[in-house]
Amino acid sequence: DAAAKPAPRVGLTGRITYKTSSGASRPDRGARVLVFPEKRRGGVKLPVVGFRPGDDAADFEIAVAALRALGGNAAIVDETGNYSLTLPAAGKYTVVVLSRYQARSEDSPIVPELVAIIAEFFDGAPERLLGQVRYHMGRVAYNGSEPITWDYSFEQQ
């Protein structure tokens, strides 16, 4: 008789916004928050479909299930700019947010750390995941019990 596993706890929560040309702050509704473990499980490379802002909700659910199997997770930012997700275990994670409303120029370089993460987890070139949307990357250390608040605001460029 196996003991029931405790319900996963929220590990990461926050708010993602962007600044309009007038300087007003708006929720980045539909942005993707992707969380990658420092040490991944398995060797499968994931397709980018489902992870990009604007991808179909059903594709997102399938993509998230695959990322969870590798030790990560993902969330879609809601209409108020908020998100929350569980983290499978204590440890260090890289957080990448892909804006729904802020564009990045095609010739804008991608930071080498993000290129390495995309190569480790995804099939194909980094541009296939990022497209022409702005992104932000950060790192968090989760102690396994206390939720981390991780907010970001995309400023006007």
Looking at residue 79, what is its pLDDT?
97
pTM: 0.91
Dist CA 109 CA 128 (whole Å): 14
Q: Name every residue whose Cβ is closer than 8 Å to that of residue 21 and which is 6 or more positions away in sequence.
A: 156
Phi-psi region of 42 (alpha: psi -120 to 50; beta: other; left: phi over 0): left
Please name which of 40, 46, 154 lies closest in space to residue 98, comparing C-alpha atoms: 154
Please name which of 38, 47, 132, 147 lies closest in space to residue 94, comparing C-alpha atoms: 38
Decide if pLDDT at 8 tops 70. no
Q: In which band, very low, low, confident or very high, does the pLDDT at 7 lie, cut at 50, 70 and 90?
A: low
Decide if pLDDT at 1 tops 50. no
Residue-range domains of the chain with CATH? 10-148 (2.60.40)
Q: Give tens-digit pLDDT for 65-77.
A: 999 999 999 999 9
Q: Give tens-digit pLDDT for 78-100.
A: 999 999 999 999 999 999 999 99
